[in-house]
């Protein structure tokens, strides 16, 4: 099994928290920037605690889904890696299938 296949098996399906954190890292962000972006994307429904965010970022960094660096102000910045993009692509494809099927079968539940 390749490294990418292992990551896909580990992360897909993804938790909502992990999904929104990784989605936020399509561009470099600080931890607080991730929290605010997720809150904005979810319309305020999802408010992540710092422990949740940094715990998830540590795990993702260890697994190679993100890269970590310091900006000019020496603040820690996170960004999705090539492997992270592969995992997100697979998860987005899975979610599209779910959405398509939910719409197709929605009327059966009314």
Count CB neighbours of 24 within 10 A.
21
The predicted structure's pLDDT at residue 71: 84
pLDDT in tens, the chain (110 residues): 899 999 999 999 999 999 999 999 999 999 999 999 999 999 999 999 999 999 999 999 999 999 999 988 899 999 999 999 999 999 999 999 999 999 999 999 99
Residues 90 and 42: their CA atoms lie apart, in Å, by 21
| Cis check: omega of the bond before 13, within 30 degrees of 0 | yes
> Residue 97 in contact with residue 80, Cβ under 8 Å?
no
Query: Which positions ≥6 away from 4 have C-beta within 8 Å?
Result: 83, 86
pLDDT value of position 34: 97
């Amino acid at each position: 099994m390749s490294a990418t296949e292992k990551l896909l098996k580990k992360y897909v399906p993804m938790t909502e928290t992990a999904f929104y954190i990784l989605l936020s890292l399509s561009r470099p962000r600080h931890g607080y920037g991730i929290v605010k972006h997720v809150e904005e994307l979810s319309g305020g429904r999802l408010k992540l605690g710092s422990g949740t965010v940094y715990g998830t970022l540590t795990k993702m960094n260890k697994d190679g889904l993100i890269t970590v660096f310091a900006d000019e102000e020496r603040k820690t910045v996170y960004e999705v890696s090539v492997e992270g993009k592969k995992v997100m692509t697979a998860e987005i494809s899975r979610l599209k299938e779910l959405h398509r099927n939910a719409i197709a079968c929605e009327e059966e539940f009314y």
